[in-house]
Amino acid sequence: MTLLDTQLQRFETLKAVLHYFYRDNACSGAHSRHSIKYHLVWIPKYRREVLVGKIPQRLKQILEGIAKTYELKIIAQEIMPDHVHVLVEASPKYSPSKIVQIFKGISSKMLREEFLPQLKPFIWKEGVLWARGYYVASVSDGATTEVVREYISTQKERPYKTPNDFEKLQASGYSQYKLFDLPEVRR
């Protein structure tokens, strides 16, 4: 196998992996394709254990309703007595901070309206349920940061510059590589 063959195999594998994840796991907007997921965590004010009794189940329902209204998709959620975890898929029109603001703002208002007698002993100010901060991490379906970094950093090294060039290379016998035969990543 020549050096060119090795490079072509590496480039084709990277392209195939990224195409698989971006095509099959992406959502469509009017002018975009995206796969954006965030792991969000926030806590009640003073990290008090107020999310007990019927509140956790109701909070899950509220968060699902908010997600539907704002065209978000909750993939997973868990309500602990002193914090909330939500894994959410979003469109690019919402920043992570905006998503948290929406979830916390609406859920705080609704929970205080429905459970004020239960929450009142734990809430310092009547209008505040959640602490100001939050935790956010982006989540991937499998195209790791290293694979994407490698794919982007090798764009100019490719022997093909257009989709037609790539199709010609595939037709000439460079398409026999497995989808998940991942290349080594340079460090």
Which residue is it, tokens 């002993």? 121
Active-site hit among 70, 151, 160, 177: 151
Q: Token pair for residue 118?
A: 């239960």
Q: Buried (b) or exposed (e) across 29-48, using 16+ Cβ within 10 A?
A: eeeeeebbbbbbbbbbbeeb
**Cβ–Cβ under 8 Å, residues 8 and 159:** yes
Is 160 catalytic? The answer is: no
Q: Which residues are catalytic, by number? A: 151
